[in-house]
């Protein structure tokens, strides 16, 4: 840009501020360095805030005398490339979120503050040729230095500082004096070439015909946009397909991004990929500390890491050579961020692939109805793996009518007998109960008092080991009362059953059988989940019980019987997605059975054995269920046949939230036309939560652009509504839960 043309910087300022802000370059600085993707410190209000330049322009709508120069640039080079920047801003616009907040929540935590970015790679030490050439005598009087040299030699000349002190303890003075002599030098360790003993992907099992077709089909689309659903029953070898696709993308010099729903799944997949693919890989998830995360992020952004494996937020990681995106377990709700910047990482992955011009594969045994619909309508390709790989047989699902059955610990006699048979044969049994704690209700036998949360419309869950009543909605916890708070009666009784109670009952029923319980309470300690799962895989526990934590992606070769204890509430849930979620859960849990050479059986206890959903699921499996459910959605004009945006409001005052939405509704009416439906305000399903009253307003259209245009016109009016300060509100585009 020539010196005399005005240079206006358009800046996304960090924080929940709608829109961008215009600034001038600092009077003396180098204007060329002020490029999009560079962070700046900009005067805002009475202080300075961090922001990011998103564009340069010759014009501004601001009055010239109101424009202020930025204080300083914080980066020498852009942190985000043009297409990454554009992608995040597109996402902010689509989800109607503040651009500055979207951009900065996509950056590593430290970079949201005015701090310099860390160099990629970990700080470490490298052996120099002089150091290498030193004979053993040189260290006769300096054994610490000798140990350092030995360690570096063994590890291929260089090691992160943290590794060195892990092996040798504090040896900073040895390192200092060796560095002074020029025997070692500081360096940055690049992301590990994981899989030092890497074999080619061809060294895995020979692919079957379905897998080969899937690989060939996606491989043929490298270099252009193509979205496809990889629908493969549990154990059908989806991961093998991923491995071959990744290898193909890497071989052509591209980077690949793999998104998984949960941190619990990353170590397993990471290990498997590392064994098979020789490429620098980084993982990104919430279990890393801030600087580990930032270094991994930088390695991806600089193109040093070829493979990036991460959870939801990794969809925003800058990748200059991105050539393939995989989304595993695409139906999983964890891909949707439920607060702040409410985005769907799965949907954004497709969008990103489209903008990048690369293929994206959405894999699942139980695809979401949204994705299935896209595949059916031809927008996405469909690849299926209908059989279990390696000859493992699909599990059989049996419905067990428990009406008028004498239950022990919630288990019917038939299930107990089946379990005993499996234990006798040396097999493993998995029981699934999706409710943690001892009992969901504590009640007084004399007067009917029920333990309720004072802040929510909800009951308190009894946790017996902790001896507390807990609210699973707001986190409130209080000691278990010794007597009824109302009538002082002594007879307080737990009603219903959670995993904690089931565990106690199973220990009585099967006193000889070692068991492990896997739920959020039993795995609070760091590393505990990994430890339990590893022991479970080895077969240390013939009996496993747990919540949906046990249902995801884990492979337990010895499990031959899965018992599903109580999913009946999913049949009649208030949310229109309740049945879809229940079918996915049942199918995923069932998929834990018989994944190796041992055949598997699944028993689902129910009081509604004739329910059409259960029947379809049992007789014809998830795909048939999904078709039927899709048809119901079409008739009812629900997603994916309609597009929704949910406005939520909450307030301490019982009226303020509803009142705000009533005015928002009024403002909306002037923008509505025949293709837009507005519903509300109505109370949220749980009207009071954490002491706040909550209400909803739903906007819906069968055409996405109409909904988008409406939101863009409407939201500025909502922001300027009077009374908006007495209630908090937020907007959720494509909401996944109507809570």
b/e burial code for range 272-294 (CB count within 10 A of at least 16 → b): ebbbbbbbbbbbbbeebeeeebb
Comparing CB distances to ligand ADP, the nearer of 594 and 640 is: 594
Residues whose CB is less than 8 angstroms from the CB of residue 370 and which lie 6 or more positions away in sequence, other chains included: 639, 640
Q: Taking CB under 5 A as the rule, does residue 468 contact Zn ion? A: no
Token pair for 164: 């060195």
Paired residues of 327 in beta bridges: 259, 362
For residues 321 and 358, give the distance between their C-alpha atoms in angstroms, rounded to a whole number: 10
Binder among 188, 393, 455, 611 for Zn ion (CB under 5 A)? 455
Closest distance of CB 232 from ligand ADP, Å: 5
From the list ligand ADP, Zn ion, none, partner contacted by residue 313 (C-beta under 5 to 8 A by kind): none
The residue ranges that bind ligand ADP (CB under 6 A) are: 205-208, 211, 232, 234-240, 389-390
The residue among 239 and 311 lying less far from ligand ADP, judged by its C-beta, is 239
Position 444 contacts Zn ion (CB under 5 A): yes
Task: Identify which of residues 38 and 372 has a Cβ nearer to ligand ADP in the complex.
Answer: 372
Nearest distance, CB of residue 452 and Zn ion, angstroms: 9
Closest to 589 in 3D by CA, of 615, 614, 561: 561
689 vs 54: CA distance, rounded Å? 39
Tokens found for residue 27: 């009077």
**CA–CA separation, 303 vs 587, rounded Å?**
39
Give residues with Cβ within 8 angstroms of 534, minimum separation 6: none
Neighbours of 197 (CB within 10 A): 7
Q: Which residues pair with 683 in a beta bridge?
A: 695
Q: Which residue of 287, 489, 609, 683 would you call a contact of Zn ion, by CB under 5 A?
A: 489
Residue 211 binding result from ligand ADP, Zn ion, none, given CB thresholds of 5 to 8 Å by partner type = ligand ADP
- Cα–Cα distance measured from residue 308 to residue 269, given in angstroms and rounded to the nearest whole number: 12
Shortest Å distance, C-beta 601 to ligand ADP: 19
* Site string (653-692) toward Zn ion, x via CB under 5 A: ----------------------------------------
| Closest CB 272 distance from ligand ADP, rounded Å | 8
Minimum Å gap between C-beta 245 and ligand ADP is 12
When binding is defined by CB under 5 A, the residue of 79, 269, 453, 626 that contacts Zn ion is 453
Among 466, 474, 504, 724, binds Zn ion (CB under 5 A): 474
Beta carbon of residue 458, minimum distance to Zn ion (angstroms, whole number): 6
Q: Could you say whether residue 446 binds Zn ion (CB under 5 A)?
A: yes
For residues 518 and 556, give the distance between their C-alpha atoms in angstroms, rounded to a whole number.
14
Q: How far is it, in rounded angstroms, from Cα 264 to Cα 74?
A: 35
Q: State yes or no: residue 441 binds Zn ion (CB under 5 A).
A: no
CB closer to ligand ADP, 554 vs 581: 554
User: Nearest distance from residue 493's CB to Zn ion, in Å?
Assistant: 11
Q: Of these partners, ligand ADP, Zn ion, none, which one is at the site of residue 229 (CB under 5 to 8 Å by kind)?
A: none
Q: Which is nearer to ligand ADP, 313 or 427 (CB)?
A: 427
Q: Residue 221 Cβ, how far from ligand ADP at the closest point, in Å?
A: 21
| Minimum CB distance to ligand ADP smaller for 99 or for 237 | 237
DSSP state of 687: E
- Give the 3-state DSSP-derived string for 358-378, with helices as H, strands as E and coil as C: CEEEEEECCCCHHHHHHHHCC
DSSP per-residue string spanning 297-345 = HHHHHTT--SEEEESGGGGGS--TTEEEEEEETTT-GGGB--SSS--BH
Q: Is 447 in the site for Zn ion (CB under 5 A)?
A: yes
Least distance in Å: CB of 560 to ligand ADP?
Answer: 16
Helix axes 704-719, 656-669, angle to 10 degrees: 120
User: Choosing among Zn ion, ligand ADP, none, which partner's interface includes residue 423 (Cβ < 5 to 8 Å by kind)?
Assistant: none
Evaluate whether 346 touches 335 at the Cβ level (below 8 Å). Answer: yes
Q: Which does 240 bind (CB under 5 to 8 A by kind): Zn ion, ligand ADP, none?
A: ligand ADP
Q: Which does 389 bind (CB under 5 to 8 A by kind): Zn ion, ligand ADP, none?
A: ligand ADP
Closer to Zn ion by Cβ: residue 306 or 521: 521
CB-CB contact of 392 with 595 (8 Å): yes
Cβ 591 to ligand ADP shortest distance, Å: 8
Structure tokens at 734: 């494509």
Least distance to ligand ADP, CB of residue 455, Å: 42
Which of ligand ADP, Zn ion, none binds 424 (CB below 5-8 Å, type-dependent)?
none
| Nearer residue to ligand ADP within complex by CB, 272 or 455 | 272
Rule CB under 5 A: say whether 487 interacts with Zn ion: yes
Q: CB-based burial of residue 106 (10 Å sphere; 0-12 exposed, 13-18 middle, 19+ buried)?
A: buried
Tell me whether residue 150 or residue 687 sits nearer to Zn ion (CB atom). 687
Give the one entry of ligand ADP, Zn ion, none that residue 232 binds, where binding means its C-beta sits below a cut-off of 5 to 8 angstroms depending on kind. Answer: ligand ADP
Residue 646: closest CA among 548, 585, 727, 735: 735
SS3 string, 11-63, reads EEECCCCCCCEEEECCCCCCHHHCCCCCEEEEEECCEEEEEEEEEEECCCCCC
| Residue 352 vs residues 344, 502, 581, 656: alpha-carbon distances, Å | 12, 45, 26, 39
Closer by beta carbon to Zn ion, 112 or else 455: 455
Closer to ligand ADP by CB, 394 or 451: give it: 394
Segment near Zn ion (CB under 5 A); pick from 40-48, 471-479, 493-501, 599-607: 471-479
Closer residue to Zn ion (CB): 223 or 485: 485
Whole-number Å distance between alpha carbons of 700 and 374: 19
Q: Measured between alpha carbons, how far is 540 from 225 in angstroms, rounded to an integer?
A: 46
Q: How far is the CB of 390 from ligand ADP (least distance, A)?
A: 3
Task: From the list ligand ADP, Zn ion, none, pick the one residue 447 interacts with, judged by a Cβ distance below 5 to 8 Å according to partner type.
Answer: Zn ion
Contact between 460 and Zn ion by CB under 5 A: the answer reads no
Residue appearing with tokens 């202020």: 68
The residue count for binding Zn ion (CB under 5 A) is: 15
- 563's contact among ligand ADP, Zn ion, none, with CB below 5 to 8 A by partner kind, is none
DSSP 727: S
Under the binding rule (CB under 5 A), the answer on residue 267 touching Zn ion is no
User: Closer CB to Zn ion, residue 491 or residue 632?
Assistant: 491
Question: Counting contacts by CB under 5 A, is residue 471 touching Zn ion?
Answer: yes
Looking at the Cβ atoms of 207 and 589, the one nearer to ligand ADP is: 207
Which one, 74 or 586, has the nearer CB to ligand ADP?
Answer: 586
**Are the CB atoms for 430 and 556 separated by under 8 Å?**
yes
Rounded CA separation 351/704 (Å) = 14
Q: Which residues bind Zn ion (CB under 5 A)?
A: 444, 446-447, 449, 453, 455-456, 471, 473-474, 476, 484, 486-487, 489
């Amino acid at each position: 840009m020539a010196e005399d043309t005005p240079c206006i910087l358009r800046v996304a300022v960090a924080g929940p501020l709608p829109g961008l802000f215009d600034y001038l370059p600092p009077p003396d600085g180098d204007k060329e360095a002020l490029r999009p993707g560079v962070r700046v410190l900009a005067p805002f209000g009475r202080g300075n805030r961090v922001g990011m330049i998103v564009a340069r322009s010759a014009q501004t709508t601001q009055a010239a005398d109101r424009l202020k120069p930025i204080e300083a640039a914080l980066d020498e080079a852009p942190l985000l490339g043009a297409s990454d920047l554009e992608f995040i801003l597109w996402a902010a616009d689509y989800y109607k979120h503040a651009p500055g907040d979207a951009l900065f929540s996509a950056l590593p935590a430290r970079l949201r503050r005015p701090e310099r970015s860390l160099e990629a790679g970990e700080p470490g030490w490298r052996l120099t040729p002089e150091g290498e050439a030193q004979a053993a005598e040189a260290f006769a009087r300096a054994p610490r230095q000798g140990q350092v040299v030995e360690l570096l030699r063994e590890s291929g000349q260089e090691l992160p500082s943290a590794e060195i002190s892990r092996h040798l303890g504090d040896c900073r003075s040895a390192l200092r004096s060796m560095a002074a002599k020029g025997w070692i030098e500081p360096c940055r360790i690049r992301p590990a070439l994981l899989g030092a003993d890497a074999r080619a992907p061809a060294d895995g099992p020979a692919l079957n015909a379905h897998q080969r077709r899937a690989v060939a089909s996606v491989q043929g689309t490298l270099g252009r946009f193509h979205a496809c659903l990889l629908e493969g029953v549990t154990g059908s070898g989806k991961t093998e397909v991923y491995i071959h696709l990744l290898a193909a993308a890497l071989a052509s010099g591209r980077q690949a991004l793999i998104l998984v729903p949960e941190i619990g799944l990353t170590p397993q997949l990471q290990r498997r990929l590392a064994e098979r693919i020789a490429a620098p890989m980084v993982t990104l998830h919430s279990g890393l500390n801030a600087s580990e995360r930032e270094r991994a992020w930088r390695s991806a952004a600089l193109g040093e890491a070829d493979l990036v494996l991460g959870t939801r937020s990794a969809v925003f990681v800058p990748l200059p050579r991105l050539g393939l995106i995989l989304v595993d377990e695409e139906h999983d709700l964890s891909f949707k961020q439920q607060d702040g910047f409410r985005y769907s990482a799965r949907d954004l992955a497709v969008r990103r692939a489209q903008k990048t011009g690369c293929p994206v594969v959405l894999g699942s045994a139980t695809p979401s109805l949204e994705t299935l619909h896209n595949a059916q309508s031809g927008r996405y390709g469909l690849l299926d793996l209908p059989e279990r790989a390696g000859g493992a047989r699909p599990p059989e699902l049996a419905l067990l009518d428990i009406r008028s059955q004498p239950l022990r610990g919630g288990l019917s006699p038939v299930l107990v007998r089946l379990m005993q048979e499996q234990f006798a044969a040396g097999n493993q049994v998995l029981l699934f109960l999706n409710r943690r704690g001892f009992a969901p209700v504590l009640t007084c036998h004399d007067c009917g008092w029920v333990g309720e949360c004072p802040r929510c419309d909800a009951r308190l869950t009894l946790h017996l080991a902790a001896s507390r009543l807990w609210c699973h909605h707001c986190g409130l916890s209080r000691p278990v009362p010794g007597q009824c708070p109302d009538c002082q009666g002594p007879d307080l009784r737990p009603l219903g059953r959670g995993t904690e109670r089931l565990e106690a009952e199973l220990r009585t029923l099967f006193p000889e059988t070692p068991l492990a319980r896997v739920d959020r309470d039993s795995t609070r300690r760091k590393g505990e989940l990994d430890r339990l799962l590893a022991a479970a895989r080895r077969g240390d526990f013939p009996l496993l019980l747990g919540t949906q934590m046990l249902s995801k992606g884990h492979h337990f070769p010895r499990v031959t019987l899965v018992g599903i204890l109580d999913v009946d509430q999913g049949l009649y849930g208030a949310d229109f997605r309740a049945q879809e979620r229940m079918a996915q859960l049942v199918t995923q849990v069932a998929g834990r059975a018989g994944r190796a050479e041992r055949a598997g059986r699944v028993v689902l206890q129910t009081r509604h054995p004739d329910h059409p959903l259960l029947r379809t699921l049992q007789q014809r499996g998830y795909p048939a269920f999904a078709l039927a459910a899709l048809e119901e959605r079409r008739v009812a004009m629900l997603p994916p046949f309609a597009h929704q945006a949910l406005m939520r409001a909450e307030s301490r005052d019982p009226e303020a939230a509803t009142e705000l939405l009533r005015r928002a509704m009024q403002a909306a009416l002037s923008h509505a036309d025949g293709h837009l439906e507005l519903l509300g305000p109505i109370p949220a399903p749980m009207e009071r939560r954490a002491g706040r009253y909550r209400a909803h307003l739903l906007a819906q259209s069968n055409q996405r652009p109409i909904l988008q245009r409406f939101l863009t016109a409407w939201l500025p009016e909502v922001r300027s509504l009077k009374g908006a300060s007495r209630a908090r509100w937020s907007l959720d585009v494509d909401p996944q839960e109507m809570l």
